């Protein structure tokens, strides 16, 4: 639909859109366009299959140049999330785990409230065919899902980005839910702080042979990350936890066993 | 995003989607897919440039076969609207005229109420480049518009159909925040579970000489208890944390120091 007025000020900012390993440049371009339609401008791509910049993305973006030009590419999802305080993962599948699941309208309102409070927020979207993996979802604070037809639930990534961008825009229009969300009492730390806590704990567990196999390791790591992500710890809280684990890690107690020694298990 | 469950009953019906002289088969296919995602199944096309059926439309529809197969083609817009009781025209441009203009959320609610009352309703969408002409809009009862970025207002027809299909689906959910799957928030554990975690950590710290004096101990214990209380951990989450601390506590790593040995401090 036409209707663009180049004399009006461009709306930018808002939550970052993070695409995990997108394959098709056309999809990235359509994502940029959907973002521009609803005033988002911060696009981050983790390992795009066909590299970056991508001519097909530029073509499909239909002159959403300000989004394409500001796009940042990352090698890891952790790096793409590092400076954000609060992140949603999008999924159409119910998941096991401890994460709250929000509808799209409510998630738009939550993002608006957190951005208004000075937090940096983001929305993660998975691969075209296979979506987000469990360990990737474990890095999110909450899950957002759409009220799709259960018998035909497949949304492409540009459509999913469009819906959340639209809900973001609506949440700024004096939405009735806006007042229901006050500033969160604790400001979640940048994700790089949380990832530092993960690294410390996982390294300490590895050094003790805690994980019996690589398969068990992946599941256990997903689980511990979920438990540590869900509270939205502040930087101060993370520093307290790191101090506790550091003490347990560096100092032994009388009678402590070496890794692999027999003994009763918790 | 994956997540389709072929065992669930397909949602069909709802307002007709009327496309006026669409040019690209890909767009028609994407419209069918967007409709299927949100439970619509009645697609009508007026004078498609490349005729009908259209292989590119079928391909882009991504197995929304029930929509494609039921699609009807008309020579005139009047014929396409003939059996409908109430029709919206979609536009991103302000228009002269006396038609009421509704936002997308409100239009979804209006359509739902009219369908529930036994009316047949529809949504008209214009050509890819030029939208709907004024005389075409004159055939609609009301206008629906989207809260787009005024400086970048161009929505393609599949995106516009997606947003209205989504609002149609939402309007049928009892609670505005209800989603396709619901999950309770985390239920905080009984306090005795939390206190067990405190005891375990504090005993482990005492055994390592972590606290330098009773005064410092009280302050540090208050602090770690505050950090661990604030999230409202569930029993499952507490068990994960107890497992982590137990591993760090019971097993040493190479080069670990005894309590009281000199060394750098965290």
Q: Tell me the average pLDDT across A148-165.
A: 89
pLDDT-derived band of residue A180, with 50, 70 and 90 as boundaries? very low
Q: Which two tokens stand for residue A172?
A: 């700024």
DSSP, res B152: S
This complex has an ipTM of: 0.73
The reported pLDDT for the residue numbered B1 is: 47
- Which helix (H) or strand (E) segment holds residue A87: the answer is strand A86-90
Confidence at residue B130, expressed as pLDDT on a 0 to 100 scale: 87
Mean pLDDT of chain A: 86
Is the pLDDT at A184 greater than 90? The verdict is: no
CATH number belonging to domain B191-250: 1.10.8
| Predicted TM-score of the model (pTM) | 0.77
Nearest of A86, A239, A251, A98 to residue B239 by alpha carbon: A98
* CB-CB under 8 Å, A240 with B224: yes
> Contact at 8 Å (CB) between B186 and A230?
yes
Residues of each domain in chain A carrying CATH 3.40.1280.10: 16-180
A8 vs B92, B150, B176: nearest CB: B150
The CA distance from B205 to B209, in Å, is 6
Closest partner residue to B251 among A130, A245, A259, by Cβ? Answer: A259
**Which CATH number applies to A16-180?**
3.40.1280.10
Reported residue count of chain A is: 266
Q: Which of the two residues, B3 and A140, has the higher pLDDT score?
A: A140
Q: Where in chain B is the domain with CATH 1.10.8?
A: 191-250
- Between β-strands B43-46 and A86-90, what pairing exists: parallel, antiparallel or unpaired? unpaired
pLDDT in tens, chain B (266 residues): 445 666 667 777 899 999 999 999 999 999 999 999 999 999 999 999 999 999 999 999 988 989 999 999 999 998 999 888 889 999 866 665 667 888 999 999 999 998 988 888 999 999 988 889 888 888 888 899 998 888 887 788 999 999 999 999 999 886 443 343 444 466 778 878 888 999 999 999 999 888 888 888 988 988 888 889 888 898 999 999 999 999 999 888 766 665 555 444 44
In B31-152 the beta strands, taken as DSSP E runs, fall at 43-46, 72-74, 86-90, 101-103, 121-125, 142-145
Q: Which residues of A touch B23 (CB under 8 A)?
A: none
H or E element that contains A160: helix A157-171
Q: What is the pLDDT of residue A177?
A: 39
Is residue A51 predicted with pLDDT exceeding 90?
A: yes
pLDDT of residue B215: 87
What class, spelled out in words, does domain B16-171 have in CATH?
Answer: alpha beta
Q: Under an 8 A CB cutoff, do A149 and B10 touch?
A: yes
Question: Contact A31/A71 with Cβ under 8 angstroms?
Answer: no
Are B1 and A154 an interchain contact pair (Cβ–Cβ within 8 Å)? yes
Domain with CATH 3.40.1280.10 in chain B: 16-171
Read off the pLDDT of residues A218-255 as tens digits, 9 standing for 90 and up. Answer: 999 999 998 998 888 999 999 999 999 999 998 887 66
Q: Taking CB atoms and an 8 Å limit, are A147 and B166 in contact across chains? A: yes
Cβ neighbours of B10 in A, within 8 Å: 149, 151-152
Shortest CA distance from A225: residue in chain B: B240
Give yes or no for a cis peptide into B53 (omega within 30° of 0): yes
pLDDT for position B191: 79
Is the Cα torsion angle A172, A177, A183, A185 positive or negative in sign?
negative
> Which residues from A are below 8 Å from B11, CB to CB?
149-151
């Amino acid at each position: 639909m036409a209707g663009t007025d180049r004399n009006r000020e461009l709306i930018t900012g808002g939550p970052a859109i993070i695409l995990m390993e997108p394959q098709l440049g056309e999809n990235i371009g359509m994502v940029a366009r959907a973002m521009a339609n609803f005033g988002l401008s911060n696009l981050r791509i983790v390992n795009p299959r066909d590299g970056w910049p991508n001519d097909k993305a530029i073509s499909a973006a239909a002159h959403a140049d300000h989004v394409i030009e500001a796009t940042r590419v990352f090698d890891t999802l952790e790096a793409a999330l590092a400076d954000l305080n609060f992140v949603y993962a999008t999924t159409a599948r119910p998941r096991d785990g401890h994460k709250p699941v929000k509808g799209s309208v409510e998630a738009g309102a939550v993002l608006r409230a957190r951005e208004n409070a000075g937090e940096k927020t983001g929305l993660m979207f998975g691969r075209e065919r296979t979506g987000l993996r469990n360990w990737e979802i474990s890095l999110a604070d909450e899950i957002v899902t759409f009220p799709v037809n259960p018998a035909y639930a497949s949304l492409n990534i540009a459509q999913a980005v469009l819906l959340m961008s639209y809900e973001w825009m609506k949440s700024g229009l004096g939405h009735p839910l806006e007042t229901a969300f006050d500033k969160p009492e604790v400001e979640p730390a940048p994700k790089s702080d949380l990832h530092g806590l993960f690294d410390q704990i996982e390294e300490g567990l590895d050094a003790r042979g805690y994980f019996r196999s690589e398969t068990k390791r992946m599941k256990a790591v997903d689980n511990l990350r979920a438990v540590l992500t869900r509270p939205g710890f502040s930087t101060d809280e993370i520093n307290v936890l790191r101090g506790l684990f550091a003490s347990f890690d560096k100092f032994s107690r009388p009678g402590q066993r070496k890794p692999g020694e027999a003994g009763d298990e918790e």
